[in-house]
Amino acid sequence: MKNIILLGATGSIGTQTIEVLRDLSNQYRLVSFSFGKNLSKAISIINEFKPRYVCSELKEHADILKNIFPYLQVGYGSEGLLECATFDVGDHYPTTVVNALVGSLGLKPTVAAIRKGYTIALANKETLVTAGKIVTEEVRKHQVTLVPIDSEHSAIFQCLHGENHKNIKRIILTASGGAFRDKTRDQLEDVTVEEALRHPNWSMGSKITIDSATMMNKGFEVIEAHFLFNVDYDSIATVLHRESIIHSLVEFHDTAILAQLGTPDMKVPIAYALTYPDRIMISNAKPLDLTEVGTLHFEKVDFTRFPCLKYAYDAGIIGHSLPTVLNAANEAAVKLFLEGKIKFLDIEKIIYENLEQHKLIKDPDLETIIQLDKELKERIISSAERRAL
């Protein structure tokens, strides 16, 4: 038996994690979960899985849940999220925390769960982007296991299973190119939110889909890979791969390259993160038929066409507080774009301006990172709203 804590249960990754847990119901139990504003879906999860603790983003939703489920422990907001991430059933079974939150909101609960000694199944990119050094130090200090859920990092994790890390020459991250991969820079001037949300291969949440369109998502993955696998940035490559069949590759010093292949289905890396080092049958999973795929395509990534990817490499190499600025500026800019307050290309302009203006803070602690993140987002959003008046 294994206890599962799910942060962000009603989002895209959270919903697919729930689907995987149905296949694992005899061995895995959902003891605690958090959700945003989708109360009806949260109630459905409670009825099906009978957790002990639930955290809502809103107090009014927490009050409703207390009335409907008087036996249930309920929290809300940031404090409730920490309680959710560190919830202790009090038995001897191991606990895995699935962090499926979006944005820097996932940082504090991840660190709290690590300090509790729980295994971390990480889908929240921003945790390692904003505070990778702190998080990996906490992982080593508390001797916990951190398993990536991102399809690219899961692929690398699987390729490295049983391998000696000193033999790694290069990590190669594949990228679909997002919704606008075939558009020129000029054609991006007036693209709409609806167009940006039409990812050609994956079904994902709105924020990560926009990040895919700007290629900031791949930039974040470069920074994640640096911390997850302790590889220098000059040994992390990216390549455009339209079909999203090869999820990533590892090249070794003897020129051998290992790749992990599969259909674009996030339930596969989710299940692997939950059951590692074992594997399970996944309901309704479509096996890969290479004869059906036929041909796979690969192209070089152009930093001029996708400047956000270059910004991420630069921020990662410089390090310290700069990746926090990268993430905060991106989160704020994507929010403004989704709300129709800025144009698509303004996202990269806002990121660039904030990276250029930032006065580097060396080795920031957790509270400094959280405060910097908060202040920067508030400043970017308020500035954009003032210009719109």
CATH code for the domain of 104: 3.40.50.720
pLDDT in tens, the chain (389 residues): 999 999 999 999 999 999 999 998 889 999 999 999 999 999 999 999 999 999 999 999 999 999 999 999 999 999 999 999 999 999 999 999 999 999 899 999 999 999 999 999 999 999 999 999 999 999 999 999 999 999 999 999 999 999 999 999 999 999 998 889 999 999 999 999 999 998 777 767 899 999 999 999 999 999 999 999 999 999 999 999 999 999 999 999 999 999 999 999 999 999 999 999 999 988 888 999 999 999 999 999 999 999 999 999 999 999 999 999 999 999 999 999 999 999 999 999 999 999 999 999 999 999 999 999 999 999 999 998 787 65
pLDDT at 205: 82
| 167 within a domain of the structure (yes/no) | yes
Q: Which of 277, 292, 269, 384 is nearest to 338 (CA)?
A: 384
pLDDT at 389: 58
**Co-location of 234 and 122 in the same domain:** no
Alpha carbons within 13 A on the beta-carbon side of 52 = 14
83 contacts 55 by C-beta, under 8 angstroms? yes
**Co-location of 256 and 190 in the same domain:** yes
pLDDT at 137: 98
3-state secondary structure 297-352: CCEECCCCCCHHHHHHHHHHHHCCCHHHHHHHHHHHHHHHHHCCCCCCCHHHHHHH
**Co-location of 83 and 126 in the same domain:** yes
Backbone φ and ψ of 241, nearest 5°: -140, 100
| 355 within a domain of the structure (yes/no) | no
| 225 within a domain of the structure (yes/no) | yes
**Co-location of 21 and 131 in the same domain:** yes
**Domain count across the chain:** 2
| 311 within a domain of the structure (yes/no) | yes
Cα 13 to Cα 203: distance, rounded to the nearest angstrom? 10
pLDDT at 34: 98
Answer with the one of 149, 174, 200 that is the final residue of a domain.
149
**Co-location of 206 and 230 in the same domain:** yes
Angle between helices 59-68 and 39-49 (to 10 degrees): 40
113 contacts 34 by C-beta, under 8 angstroms? no
Report residue 243 as tokens.
């079909």
Collapsing DSSP states into helix, strand and coil, what is residue 70? coil
Answer with the one of 149, 166, 192 that is the final residue of a domain.
149
Residues with Cβ within 8 Å of 21's Cβ and at least 6 positions away in sequence, in order, are 4, 28, 30, 49, 274
pTM: 0.95
Collapsing DSSP states into helix, strand and coil, what is residue 169? strand
Bridge partners (DSSP) listed for residue 97: 5, 120
94 contacts 2 by C-beta, under 8 angstroms? yes
**Co-location of 111 and 130 in the same domain:** yes
Answer with the one of 269, 285, 318 that is the final residue of a domain.
318
**Co-location of 55 and 105 in the same domain:** yes
Alpha helix ranges (H) inside the chain: 12-23, 39-49, 59-68, 77-85, 107-116, 125-142, 151-159, 193-196, 206-214, 216-229, 267-275, 290-293, 307-318, 322-338, 346-357, 366-388
Peptide bond preceding 70 in cis form (omega within 30 of 0): no
**Co-location of 41 and 142 in the same domain:** yes
**Co-location of 139 and 176 in the same domain:** no
Bridge partners (DSSP) listed for residue 54: 33, 74
**Co-location of 210 and 121 in the same domain:** no
| 370 within a domain of the structure (yes/no) | no
260 contacts 246 by C-beta, under 8 angstroms? yes
For residue 13, give its domain range: 2-149
| 239 within a domain of the structure (yes/no) | yes
pLDDT at 25: 80
Report residue 244 as tokens.
């999203």
| 357 within a domain of the structure (yes/no) | no
Torsion of CA 124, 120, 312, 265, to 10 degrees: -60
**Co-location of 26 and 126 in the same domain:** yes
Cα 154 to Cα 171: distance, rounded to the nearest angstrom? 12
Backbone φ and ψ of 126, nearest 5°: -65, -25
**Co-location of 160 and 276 in the same domain:** yes
| 185 within a domain of the structure (yes/no) | yes
